[in-house]
Amino acid sequence: MINLTRGVPPAEVFPIDDLIQAGEISLREDGKRIFQYSPAPGYPPLRDWLAAEHSVGSEQVFLGNSSLELFSFVIHILLGVRRRAFIESPSYDRANTLLQRSGAEVVPIPLHLDGMDLDAFEAQLKRGAPGLVYLITDFQNPMGNTTSLEKRQQLAAWAREYDFWIVEDAPYRRLRYSGKDLPTLYSFAPERVIHMASLSKILAPGLRLGYLVAEAGIVRQLTEWAVDTYISPVTPTQAMAYAYLKAGKLPDNIASLCRLYRPRLETMLAALDRYLPQASYPRPEGGFFLGVSLPEGVRMDWLLPRAEQAGLKLSDGRGFFIHPSDGERFVRLPFCSLTLTEIELAVKGLGRLVKEDYPQ
């Protein structure tokens, strides 16, 4: 069985020895502080380090026990009054869930290869500005596409004009296998964008270390919410990450991940070109996923059990859409933790299923 359901890194990429060493160094140097309650925005040296990395003040950085949970905090802060949110369609299934759980109105905006459909966005904007817009600008989950420069600029301009917040989730940004970085959305409107990042995909998910960069007022509100929720985040793992980053080891780790993942993406694209020419999909330049729209007529309830019989465990594509029926023929293909052979076999199997069997 080839598992295509989760976007997790393969366990063999975790730099375990370096992390053990970093943990020991940090605890020997600063154990009394690390094992005590710490400030709610995070372990101060790591906060300072990340602030420098992003060229902002430390008071603009907020760390937590996963970027997903940080997003749940952001939702509480931003959707208290204006209970309306826009999200790319499709988007990260867990972000959809958190927004829907909040009870706010969640408006899906169709996603094209260069980013959200701006006509649909503007039409919704005129019906009522949102409390927040959530998007994944680089190597989107589940599509793999990247929002264009022009669309970043337009969204930033609207955020200022219509006075709404944008949450730019960027966990995959540093995993680029070809092409060139675009400026972050945050860089175009730092007073209106919350930039979220994470160490899960570039170091190790078990650390559950997410952080965000935003204007200081947002960070103050998040701090209050976090204190009331858990007093302070888990600190030894933040200190471990700090010692690891300070030792300068992250760039090499990212380079080694890119060397590993790039041929996996290329193999997947080549297999799609070969076995699924009738499907549509982007050509991502990085990240973990590739979103495939299968030919019309395919339906999830038909596809999932047949894929399972053929040895392929697929995510239910409907989970990535606010209106589940929009995902009837959508498949998210993660490629980072599969071997080249598995990738070839998976796409070949999917191609065979879709080509021969589905009810026309």
Nearer to its own copies, 36 or 360 (CB): 36
Give the amino acid at 185.
Answer: L
Nearer to its own copies, 43 or 158 (CB): 43
- Separation CA 194–CA 215 (nearest Å): 8
Quick one: which of 61, 202, 213, 240 contacts its own copies (CB under 8 A)? 240
Nearer to its own copies, 100 or 148 (CB): 100
Q: How many CB atoms lie within 10 A of CB 162?
A: 14
Nearer to its own copies, 28 or 180 (CB): 28
User: Rounded to the nearest whole angstrom, what is the least distance from the CB of residue 33 to its own copies in the complex?
Assistant: 7
Nearer to its own copies, 235 or 267 (CB): 235
Quick one: which of 235, 261, 284, 334 contacts its own copies (CB under 8 A)? 235
The two structure tokens encoding residue 288: 């973990």
User: Rounded to the nearest whole angstrom, what is the least distance from the CB of residue 75 to its own copies in the complex?
Assistant: 11
**Are residues 26 and 244 in contact, defined by beta-carbon separation less than 8 angstroms?**
no
Using N-to-C axis directions, what is the helix angle for 236-246 and 16-34, rounded to 10°? 120
Rounded to 5°, angle at Cα 308 from 306 and 309: 65
Using CB under 8 A as the binding rule, whether residue 2 contacts its own copies is answered as no
> Which DSSP string corresponds to 144-167?
-----HHHHHHHHHHHHHHT-EEE
Nearer to its own copies, 98 or 298 (CB): 98
Nearer to its own copies, 132 or 189 (CB): 132
Using CB under 8 A as the binding rule, whether residue 3 contacts its own copies is answered as no
Using CB under 8 A as the binding rule, whether residue 205 contacts its own copies is answered as yes
Nearer to its own copies, 147 or 237 (CB): 237
User: Rounded to the nearest whole angstrom, what is the least distance from the CB of residue 188 to its own copies in the complex?
Assistant: 29
* Subset of 8-27 contacting its own copies (CB under 8 A): 8-9, 11-12, 14, 16, 19-20, 23-24, 27
Q: How many CB atoms lie within 10 A of CB 13?
A: 17
User: Rounded to the nearest whole angstrom, what is the least distance from the CB of residue 153 to its own copies in the complex?
Assistant: 33
- Separation CA 9–CA 104 (nearest Å): 32
- Separation CA 313–CA 331 (nearest Å): 11
Quick one: which of 2, 4, 34, 155 contacts its own copies (CB under 8 A)? 34
Quick one: which of 101, 160, 274, 352 contacts its own copies (CB under 8 A)? 101
- Closest to 130 measured CA to CA, from 69, 88, 86, 192: 86
Quick one: which of 45, 144, 233, 327 contacts its own copies (CB under 8 A)? 233
Is residue 212 helix, strand or coil? strand
Using CB under 8 A as the binding rule, whether residue 322 contacts its own copies is answered as no
The two structure tokens encoding residue 117: 């459909």
The two structure tokens encoding residue 22: 């970093």
Matching residue, tokens 């590993």: 260
- Separation CA 50–CA 44 (nearest Å): 10
Element (H, E) at 56: none
**Residue 159 burial (C-beta neighbours within 10 Å; 0-12, 13-18, 19+):** buried
Task: Give the per-residue contact string, 65-94, with its own copies (x = CB under 8 A; - = no).
Answer: xx-xx--x---------------------x
**Are residues 116 and 135 in contact, defined by beta-carbon separation less than 8 angstroms?**
yes
Count residues near its own copies (CB under 8 A). 46
Using CB under 8 A as the binding rule, whether residue 204 contacts its own copies is answered as yes
Nearer to its own copies, 7 or 90 (CB): 7
Interface residues toward its own copies, by CB under 8 A = 6, 8-9, 11-12, 14, 16, 19-20, 23-24, 27-28, 31-38, 65-66, 68-69, 72, 94, 97-98, 101, 204-208, 228-237, 240
